[in-house]
Amino acid sequence: MNALGRHILVEFYECSPELMNDVVHIENSMVAAAETAGATVINSTFHHFSPYGVSGVVVIQESHLAIHTWPEYGYAAVDLFTCGDSVDPWVSYTFLKEAFEAGHGSSMELRRGQLNLMKRNDFNLEGLRDVSPKPNEKIGTITRDVWFTERDENIALSLKHTGDQLYKKESPYQRVEVIETLAYGNMLTLDGMVMCTQKDEYVYHEMITHIPLFSNPKTKRALVIGGGDGGTVRELLRHEQLEEVTLVEIDELVIEACKLHLPETAVAFDNPRLNLLVEDGINYIKACEDGRYDLIIVDSADPVGPGEGLFTAEFYKEVYRCLTPDGVMVTQSESPRFNSEVFVEIYDTYKQIFGSNKVHCYLAAIPTYPTGTWSFSFSSKGEAHPLKFDQERAAAFSKEQGLKYYNEEMHTAAFALPNFVKDLLNGSSEQ
């Protein structure tokens, strides 16, 4: 070969869309394609993008294999670059076409570094250290660098993971996955959006539950809409005053996935005070009797997919009806920085239903949610106020239960809002 390397530009068409969105399958296939061709694999780095698409590269001693996929088109663009004559990139081409279940492919081979156009200048290499393997020296262990990325057009969160997809099933409502991340432990995602991780889930679940319960200590019956991971009911059931907790989750796969792979979060599903219902929360609320619950928590995902109907005025009017005269509704209310329009719309809706002086916003820091700043709403049907609570009792409870985030000081501090959040809630155009 009268060149330094061979570069094949490949296009695979009519591939399996599911495989084109499976970062683990793609990484394994790319590594295997390199090894089958006789290459020595040094490193692999792969990203899965939300909602779909994978990019990655396998670094080989002889150069690299790279890919980017468009699952919605069943298409993959692949680069196969090998140096010298020891590796045949066409072996990798054939392997990947089969692995991706491609209907057909096209390719173009380039010879890189034409030797007859170059002159070797060995004298310029005298100062370079020779780092080539010595005889009988073992080349280092392959390192893997596999990433999950949740993104939209303006922002992204990337988490490195082990490449082990612990759980992946498609329900009638959404794609349910659990991925083992390196920094945050097992992570639940729904349609590619992060729901909770083992390392930081306690922030969300402690703040959505303990604030309303200490603000309304007479609460006896609580309803949770959504929350199939189990974290919210786990925190509620720490309170002995609660006689009944009803959890209504539409997707039984969420419960199954968390029981298997987030057991610390899903620990309370067998509690005798829990009434677990796998059904549509919107329909449940419509059929619920007036004034049944002292506390209703809407522990929903973002306003897309099966949770979309939980972000409507009609739904919240039904929630209001189902509350006792002194009842409280708490919801997650998005990031005021990341999703400002939805954030404002949510609070305008609550104020119309509960009254402007009965709706309060509070914040918590959740690293794996967009921008890290997340909001919750506290809406009171009666006289309960989130800043009128027994601080000594809250402090003792936090200590006794070994809570990781909530305490009496965090309870108060959470309602101290930055000016930009106040401006949003007051209708200012400045964001």
C-alpha span between 324 and 419 (Å, rounded): 33
Confirm whether 335 is a catalytic residue: no
Task: Look at residue 121 and tell me if it is in a domain.
Answer: no
Sign of the alpha-carbon torsion through 208, 376, 363, 306: positive
Q: Residue 193: which domain range?
A: 162-197
| Three-state SS at 61 | coil
Residues 336 and 309 in one domain: yes
Residues 214 and 353 in one domain: yes
C-alpha span between 54 and 27 (Å, rounded): 9
Confirm whether 83 is a catalytic residue: yes
Which of the residues 299, 322, 335, 361 is marked catalytic?
299
CB-based contacts of 396, cutoff 8 Å, min separation 6: none
Residues 175 and 292 in one domain: no
Side-chain half-sphere exposure of 306, counting CA atoms within 13 A: 25
Residues 237 and 288 in one domain: yes
Residues 172 and 302 in one domain: no
Residues 237 and 385 in one domain: yes
Task: Look at residue 147 and tell me if it is in a domain.
Answer: no
Backbone angles phi, psi at 121, to 5 degrees: -115, 75
Last residue of a domain, one of 197, 224, 257: 197
Provide block-wise average pLDDT over 10 residues at a time, the chain (431 residues).
Answer: 87 95 93 92 87 91 94 96 88 96 94 80 56 54 73 78 87 94 95 94 98 97 97 98 97 98 97 97 96 96 53 91 98 91 93 95 95 95 96 98 98 97 80 40
Q: Residues marked as binding for spermidine?
A: 205, 229, 299-302
Contact 332, 204 (CB under 8 A): yes
Side-chain half-sphere exposure of 233, counting CA atoms within 13 A: 29
Q: Encoding tokens for residue 45?
A: 């780095």
Q: What is the pLDDT of residue 412?
A: 98
Which of the residues 50, 68, 326, 348 is marked catalytic?
68
Task: Look at residue 419 and tell me if it is in a domain.
Answer: yes
Longest dimension (CA), the chain: 89
Residues 178 and 227 in one domain: no
Residues 308 and 411 in one domain: yes
From first CA to last CA, the distance across the chain in angstroms is 61
- According to DSSP, residue 336 is labeled T
- According to DSSP, residue 126 is labeled T
Residues 74 and 177 in one domain: no
Residues 228 and 244 in one domain: yes
Backbone angles phi, psi at 73, to 5 degrees: -110, 0
DSSP β-bridge partners for residue 415:
none
Q: What is the CATH number of the domain that holds 413?
A: 3.40.50.150
Q: What is the CATH number of the domain that holds 74?
A: 3.60.90.10
DSSP β-bridge partners for residue 278:
249
Q: Residues marked as binding for S-methyl-5'-thioadenosine?
A: 174, 249, 280-281, 306
Task: Look at residue 136 and tell me if it is in a domain.
Answer: no
C-alpha span between 418 and 101 (Å, rounded): 52
C-alpha span between 114 and 2 (Å, rounded): 6
Confirm whether 360 is a catalytic residue: no
Contact 371, 318 (CB under 8 A): no
Last residue of a domain, one of 81, 116, 151: 116
Which of the residues 29, 44, 55, 63 is marked catalytic?
63
Q: Residues marked as binding?
A: 174, 205, 229, 249, 280-281, 299-302, 306
C-alpha span between 314 and 322 (Å, rounded): 13
Task: Look at residue 48 and tell me if it is in a domain.
Answer: yes
Q: How remote is the C-alpha of 285 from its chain's centroid?
A: 27
CB-based contacts of 283, cutoff 8 Å, min separation 6: none
C-alpha span between 49 and 109 (Å, rounded): 29
- Kindly list the distances between the CA atom of residue 236 and the CA atoms of 232, 242, 272, 294, 365, in Å, as whole numbers in the listed order: 6, 8, 13, 13, 20
Confirm whether 299 is a catalytic residue: yes
Residue bearing tokens 């039904």: 318
Contact 278, 252 (CB under 8 A): yes
Would you list the DSSP string of 269-290?
TT-TTEEEEES-HHHHHHHSPT
Which of the residues 15, 83, 258, 322 is marked catalytic?
83
Last residue of a domain, one of 61, 82, 116: 116
Residues 172 and 209 in one domain: no
C-alpha span between 179 and 190 (Å, rounded): 11
| Total domain count, the chain | 3
Task: Look at residue 187 and tell me if it is in a domain.
Answer: yes
Q: What is the pLDDT of residue 30?
A: 95
Q: What is the CATH number of the domain that holds 186?
A: 2.30.140.10
Task: Look at residue 338 and tell me if it is in a domain.
Answer: yes
Burial tier of 126 (Cβ tally within 10 Å: 0-12, 13-18, 19+): exposed
Residues 107 and 212 in one domain: no
Task: Look at residue 140 and tell me if it is in a domain.
Answer: no
